[in-house]
Each structure stands twice: as structure tokens, then as C-alpha cells.
Amino acid sequence: MRAPGLLAWGLVVVGLAMGRLVAAGTVVKTEPVSFRNDVLPILSKAGCNTGGCHGSLAGKGGFRLSLFAYNPEADHFAITRESQGRRVESSDPGLSLLLTKPTTLVRHKGGKRLETDSVDYHTLARWIAQGAPGPRADEPALESLEISPAVRTVNTGDVVPVTVRARYSNGHVRDVTPWARYTSTDETVASVDPQGRATILGPGQGAITAWYSSRIVLARLTSPYSNTVPAAVFAAVPRTNFIDARVVEQLERLHLEPSPAASDATFVRRAFLDVIGRLPTPEEVREFEHDSAPDRHARLADRLLARTEFVDYWAYKWSDVLLVTGARLRPEAVRAYSDWIRSRVAANTPWDRMVRELITAKGSAVEEGASNFFAVHQDPEAMAENVSQAFLALSINCARCHNHPLEKWTNDQYYQFANLFARVRAKGWGGDARSGDGRRTLFVQAAGDLIQPRTGRPQPPAPLDGAPIAAEDPRDRRELLADWLTSPSNPYFARAAANRVWANFFGSGVVEPVDDLRASNPASNEPLLADLAAHLVRSGFDLRDLMRQILTSHTYRRSTDVLPGNREDRRHYSRFFPRRLSAEVLSDAIADVTGVPDRFTELALNDGSTEASSAFTNVVRSLQLSDASVKSYFLKTFGRNQREITCECERSNQPSLVQALHLSNGSTLNDKIAAPAGRLARTFADASTPAAWLDGLWTRCLGRPPTERERSAALKAFQEAPRSEQRQVAEDLGWSILSSREFLFQH
């Protein structure tokens, strides 16, 4: 017995959605239903093509769709041709499995996805009745999405409906609110239902994302905290530059009270660690404290930005991003790559020029260090993914197999972008890991394209959102990519660099994670990030100039003091947020305080063996290491970036039990403290009194003298110990300081 056709053409049906059917099933006039623009959005909204349903690699129940409708042609074939076409029944659409399954008229493991009296049901029925036409090349293409309200200030308990409109290439604008998929970027601020109604749950800066046909738009919602902060408080906050202006504006909108400025000693320690990765000496702290000139912060910033250690610190940070490692490169290539980065940092090469040199590099791996970027990433897909991640903070990896589920990037765009690197070649790779010398040469051949697996043919090479390049164009495609990538009008390049720099000084990016600038991951303060990027462009991509702006801002000077009016703040810089020192900075700080340097004498090879290398037998600081594969138990334990993939997730600054045990019992700290020739032992022996030694220890480690309580407790320990044991007391005090939260953390 046949299942009843809910839409039987022998009946009189009037006023179906988006079309008109009249008397006795005679079709007088019906607007055509688009498979691409009408049918697929319905299936996407219902969740039919998600990874947990028919969009999975193997499909479900013998029925497979492309993930999030990235392949309309294949989806049309699967629906209308596979299984003898039994999924659609044009003569009686209500009998089609495409309708009986999601309405559970026929058993469906995915549960009920459609209501029989819904607009979506009737739209699918009309499409089937029209003969289930497939996607057409001439139909209007979706050009953009608009959301309303785009920005709104709300209060806890409010319900805010959003409206989404699609704009097509023929000028038509359509309300697609019912077919968009909605998510909240912060569920503590707002939740959203499938119809796009946002319920405000608490204070903060939140956003609702709407996804429709691989496009994403954002509605930003500001929900003020319940604090009562007088306007005079914000009016009195000092503003040095645009950073302070943007931060204070948001604090006032959110009713978050800014904390007072940190002490001079705290600020100096903070600035030294963030700019050059070193602790200030007691003399450097006192010099700043005794300087009463109004421009002393600016002058300190200029001195730090000109220090040799600045080059060590920032060359190391960019080496993390660019994956300088002996795990992938031979020693000579590692040194050439590292030296190229150091030379550009030392010369304050503008960021756009440095990236252009890297992207367009050619020649010998030993003589042209930048060319090693293409040895680390050896196929067009890897090159495309890592260029996007490193310089645009966009992860396009998911689009390699299907349209990106969280971003607007399509599978076609991925292969357009990757095809820009299809002609990059190398010769003379240097043999195996042990015998090869790494003297390979990078060049660009005149022809060649990357084949897109889905279509079996190449996509026209093009930057993301950029104009395609003619396949027969003889120029190096990377030159054209560099033009687009480093252009001031590029919406991602300056933002990505500015966000990375900001994160270095505040412990978190304006967008977090710092290398995830997708549209569905909004900035905590969009006007601030926009201004940081604009300033970077105006300065000619001078990264040191941007750092100077940050260092001289009052936002950077704030203390870590928690006030009743900013206790709940985690993202808006009402106060400075403490963070643990990075592995390399902490290692160097311990070496500086104890006067016992580290010795790195082994270089890990690709095959896991080691060899002596003259480059690493000298005493060097951790931040001077050019190779992340140099062995160090301490650096590994404290979360050093292994430089295996281009991702900030490779580094961890989170405390752990293993770290605590190493500080307590490990050799790094204990052996250096007890070293007879170390600074702690020498200064204790030379000190006129224990009190004088204590002041020097505290100031060198923490940038401040001990409090009266700390001094009294320490002196009491000395007084109660026999003279023969006072050296041990000094070592215990040194250990207690070097393992303290105040030393291990940036404040």
C-alpha cells in the first residue's frame, strides 16, 4: 500500500509558498524553484548535510550529500538519480522520500526535520513537481549577506530578533532569516534559537553569527555590566593615544572601571620582558624610578626597541611563525633561514616588505635564506594553507575537501589560492637527512597547474577574494599574490600582524586565538583592532612604531589590581591580566638571576639522532637559539613551540603539575642556585649584611625591594640559623623567590 501523498494533484491547492497552484491541479503560474538558492538552503538549515548526517564522508543510510552543500551538482545527482531516482516523485511529490523521510511519514533515523505545513515542505514539493531541475550556470549568484541589527546595545533579559538578507547578482534582495543557521560566539552573553532570536543572558561583548550558503555575517551585541561607575571616572582616565581612546570608550559602554596604573618597578619589569625578553637589572629599575620627566615612558620604549636583545626576542617569535626547525631543514639551511629573519628584524624592515621577500623568494637554500619557507611547505596546498595562516590569520584547511563550515571560503576558492603556488619547484634537495647538505635551489617554472580533485581540472589561480589570473600569464604568480597580500586595502593582512603584536604585550589578542581571524570569531573590541591595523598601514607597516604606541599607552600601564567594578572582566583590558612567562624567557631569566648560563650542545636531526654542531656549543640564551629542535627538557616542559605547524596552539604558557615538580626537584633551578660560582653564592659571600643581600635578590628577581614583612621573615631565618648553615638559608630563599608566582608570572 502506498504512503498517502500529502500533496496530491487531484486536490485543489491554493496559495502554496512562493507560487500559485489552482483548480484541479492545473498549474496556471508557478515561480521556478532554484535548486542552488532554494532547495539546498532548506537542507542545510535542517541539518541534512552536516558531518553528523548525510554530509559525512560515508553518508547515512546509503544517501550522501556534500558537506554544507559545497558541491551542488553532486547533491542534485544524489537526490534525483541515485537509487533509481526514488527520492523524488514528480507525479506525486508527497510520495517522495525527500519529503516522507524528514517528516517521519517513513521511518527516519535522523528524526523529524520538516513539518508538513511548513514553507520549506511546500517549496521542496514545488521543486519536485517542476521536475526537480538542477543548478543552472545562469541563475543569480549570492553576492553578500546583510544582518540587522548589525550593532546593538542590550540588557540582560532582552530578546533580540535578527534579520538576514541575501543580495544576489541580479540585484534581488531576499529575506533568508528562516534558512540561516545561527550560533552565539559567547554563550555567557547571549544564546540564539534556530529562528534567529537572541536571548541576552549576561554582561559582556557578544555576537550572533548567521551562516547561509557558505557566507557568514555578524550581529554584535553589547550588554553592559551592572556596575555603577560615575562618568567622571572615565573622564579622568589619561589618554595618550588612540589605543587609550578606544579602550576607554568600550569600558564606559560596558560599565567597567579601569584599574589604576602599576608601580614604576612593575611597569619596568613588564616592559623589559615584553620587548626584549629579559629582566631589568636593579640599576635599570632605579634609573626609571628616579626619572621624573613626563616623557620617560616614551624614552624607555625607544631604548628597549633599540636594544640588541629586541632582535633576539622578535627574531625568535617570527621563527615560531615561519617554522625554523632542524626537524625539516639541514643545519646550513636552518642558519640561513634564521639569519635572514634576524637581519630583517634588526633592520626594522617593514612587515609588508619582509613578507613580500619571503613569498617571492628564489635561489639557494643556503644563500637565499627566505627560500627555505618553501622547503618547510613543499606542496601547493601546504604553501597556501601556511601563507594564509601565518600572514592572514585565516585557517583555510577545511576548504581543501569541502566548503569551510565556519567561514566563507569555498572548495573552489581553496584551489584557486593553492594554484598560485603550483609552479614553485626545487632541485638538489641534498639527499637523506644524514648525508644531504640541504643545498637545494628554488625556482619557478613557466607552466603547470594544480588539479582540483572534485572537478578534475584546475581552478583559475586567484588570491582569496581576489581577481583570477589568466592561466597563460607568464609572470610568477607569487608576485601577483604578494601585491594582493601586502596591499593596504587587504582586509586581513594588517589586522593579522597588529593582532599578533598586541597579543605579545597583553597576553591575548583583540581576536583570540591570535591566529584565527575568521568572521565567526569576532574581536573583543572591533574599533580598537581596526585602529591598530590602520595605524600599522599609515606607518608603512613599521612594527616597532606600533609597539611604541602600545608601550606608551596608559592601557599598557594599568596594574593587575582587581576592583569591584572590573572583577568580571576577562577581555576588555580594564586591568592588566597576569600570565606565565614563556619557556624561553623564563629559562633566560633564571640564568640571568643565578649567573649560570645554559649550554645547548646538541642539535636534533630529522631521523632523531644527534650530532655536535659548532653553532650550538657556545653559551647562548634560549632566545638566541635558531632551531626549535635543539634539545632542552626545561623548554619542552614549559611549553616551547615545537614549530611543527603554523599555529599559536603549538606553544603553551599554561602552568602544570610537571612544571611545579621540575621547579621543586629539577636540576634547572636547584643546580643553578647551589652553583658555587653562581651569582647568588658570590653576592651572598660579598654582601656586608644579609639585609643588603636580600634587597639585591628581591630587586633583581622581582624588580622591587622586599616588603617589611618579607624582610623581617627572611632576616629571622638567618638569625635562627647557625653561621655554617646561612648559605643554605640563602639558597632556600633564592629557591622560594625563583619558584614564586610573582617571579614566574608577568604582572
CATH number of the domain residue 153 falls in: 2.60.40.1080
User: Is cis: bond before 280, omega within 30 of 0?
Assistant: no
Q: Residues 603-614: what's their mean pLDDT?
A: 38
The number of distinct structural domains making up the chain is 5
Q: State which H helix or E strand residue 594 sits in.
A: helix 583-594
Q: For residue range 503-536, what is the model confidence (pLDDT) as tens digits?
A: 999 999 999 999 999 888 999 999 999 999 999 9
Does residue 71 form part of some domain? yes
User: pLDDT-based confidence at 9, cuts 50/70/90?
Assistant: very low
* Span 582-601, pLDDT tens digits: 999 999 999 999 999 888 75
Q: Looking at the predicted structure, is the pLDDT value of residue 648 above 90?
A: no
Q: Are residues 386 and 293 in the same domain?
A: no
Last residue of a domain, one of 434, 450, 481: 481
Minimum mean pLDDT among 121-135, 138-152, 294-308, 429-443: which range?
Answer: 429-443
The yes-or-no verdict on residue 430 having pLDDT over 80 is no
Cβ(651)–Cβ(639) below 8 Å = yes
Residue 459 has pLDDT above 80, yes or no: yes
Which pLDDT score is estimated for 15? Answer: 33
Cross-strand pairs, 164: 147
Q: Are strands 151-153 and 215-223 parallel, antiparallel or unpaired?
A: parallel
Q: Which of 441, 458, 481 is the last residue of a domain?
A: 481
- How far, in Å, CA of 594 to CA of 541, rounded? 39
Residues 439 and 541 placed together within one structural domain of the fold: no
- String of DSSP letters for 213-266: TTEEEEEEEEE--S----HHHHHTS---SHHHHHHHHHHHHHT-PPPPBPPHHH
pLDDT band (50, 70, 90) for residue 435: very low
Any alpha helices (H) in 277-400, and if so which ranges?
282-289, 296-305, 308-322, 331-346, 351-359, 373-376, 380-392
For 54, the domain range is 20-129
Name the residue with higher pLDDT: 278 or 613.
278
Report the pLDDT value the prediction gives residue 724, as an integer from 0 to 100. Answer: 83
Strands lying side by side in the sheet with 441-444: 363-364, 441-444, 424-427
**Is 506 found in the same domain as 471?**
no
Q: Are residues 453 and 429 in the same domain?
A: yes
Contact at 8 Å (CB) between 409 and 403?
yes
Question: Residue 657 carries which side chain, given as an amino acid letter?
Answer: L
Judgement on whether residues 193 and 154 belong to the same structural domain of the protein: yes
Determine phi and psi for 182, rounding to 5 degrees. -120, 140
* pLDDT computed for residue 686 by the predictor: 81
Residues 357 and 456 in one domain: yes
Cis peptide bond N-terminal to 72, omega within 30:
no
Give the largest CA-CA distance in the chain.
Answer: 111
Q: What angle do CA 107, 109, 114 make, to 5 degrees?
A: 75
- Residues paired with 625 in a beta bridge: none
Task: Write the DSSP symbol of residue 488.
Answer: T
3-state helix, strand, coil in the chain (%, to 5): 45, 10, 45
**Where is mean pLDDT largest: 15-24, 421-430, 449-458, 688-697?**
449-458
- DSSP at 377: S
Digit-coded pLDDT (tens) for 323-358: 999 888 999 999 999 999 999 999 999 999 999 999
Query: What is the residue-wise DSSP string for 420-457?
Result: GGTTEEEE---SSTTT-----EEEE-S---PEETTTTE
The reply to whether 613 falls in a domain is no
Give whole-number Cα distances, 659 to 629, 641, 649, 656, 677, in Å.
20, 16, 18, 5, 26
Report the distance separating Cα 357 and Cα 355, nearest Å: 5
In a domain, 328, yes or no: no
Is 650:327 a contact under the CB 8 Å cutoff?
no
Asked if the structure places residue 662 within a domain, the reply is: no
- Exposure b/e, 387-402, CB count within 10 A at least 16 = b: bbbbbbbbbbbbbbeb
- How many residues in the chain? 747
The closest of 510, 503, 584 to 547, measured between CA atoms, is 503
CB 207 within 8 A of CB 522: yes
Rounded to whole angstroms, the Cα distance separating 41 from 178 reads: 10
Q: Given this model, what pLDDT does residue 319 score?
A: 96
pLDDT of residue 499: 98
Instruction: Note whether 439 and 510 are same-domain residues.
Output: no
pLDDT tier at 307 (50, 70, 90 boundaries)? very high
Please state which of the ranges 118-132, 292-306, 390-404 shows the lowest mean pLDDT.
Answer: 390-404
Identify the pLDDT of residue 433. 40
Residues 412 and 498 in one domain: no
Averaged pLDDT for residues 673-700: 86
Does residue 440 lie in a domain region? yes
List pLDDT tens digits, range 28-68: 346 799 999 999 999 999 999 888 899 887 888 889 998 88
Residues 500, 552 within the same domain: yes
Closest CA to 314 of 365, 368, 285, 354: 354
Mean pLDDT calculated for residue range 65-81: 89
Structural domain ending residue among the three candidates 129, 150, 171: 129
Asked if 374 and 463 sit in the same domain, the reply is yes
Taking Cα atoms as reference points, which of 169, 154, 182, 237 lies closest to residue 563?
A: 237
- Strands 610-612 and 602-604 come out as antiparallel
* 315 within a domain of the structure (yes/no): no
Cα 281 from chain centroid (whole Å): 34
DSSP string covering 63-91: B---GGGS-HHHHHHHHHTGGGGTT--TT
Mean pLDDT, rounded, for 60-77? 89
Residue 371 shares a structural domain with residue 441: yes
Which own/partner contact pairs does 523-530 have at CB distance under 8 Å and 24+ positions apart?
524/205, 524/571, 524/572, 525/205, 525/246, 525/247, 525/250, 525/572, 525/573, 526/220, 527/246, 527/249, 527/250, 528/243, 528/246, 528/247, 528/250, 529/495, 529/498, 529/499, 529/502, 530/495
User: What mean pLDDT do residues 405-423 have?
Assistant: 87
Quick check: is 506 in a domain?
A: yes
Share above pLDDT 70 across residues of the chain, in percent, rounded to a whole number = 92
Cell digits for 733?
A: 630563599
Confidence category of residue 211, pLDDT binned at 50, 70, 90: very high
Q: Residues 208, 264: one domain?
A: no
The answer, yes or no, to whether residue 649 has pLDDT greater than 90, is no
Task: Give buried/exposed letters for 704-735 (b at 16+ CB in 10 A, else e).
Answer: bbbeeeebeebeebbeeeeeeeebebbbebbb
Q: Report whether pLDDT(232) > 90.
A: yes
- Does 572 map to a domain? no
What average pLDDT score do residues 528-546 get?
A: 98
Q: Taking a C-beta distance cutoff of 8 angstroms, is the pair 650, 623 a contact? A: no
pLDDT at 432 over 60: no
**605-614 CB contacts, 8 Å cutoff, 24+ apart:** 605/326, 605/433, 605/434, 606/326, 606/327, 606/328, 606/433, 607/433, 607/434, 609/434, 613/331
Tell me which of 117-121, 308-312, 405-409, 625-629 is least confident: 405-409
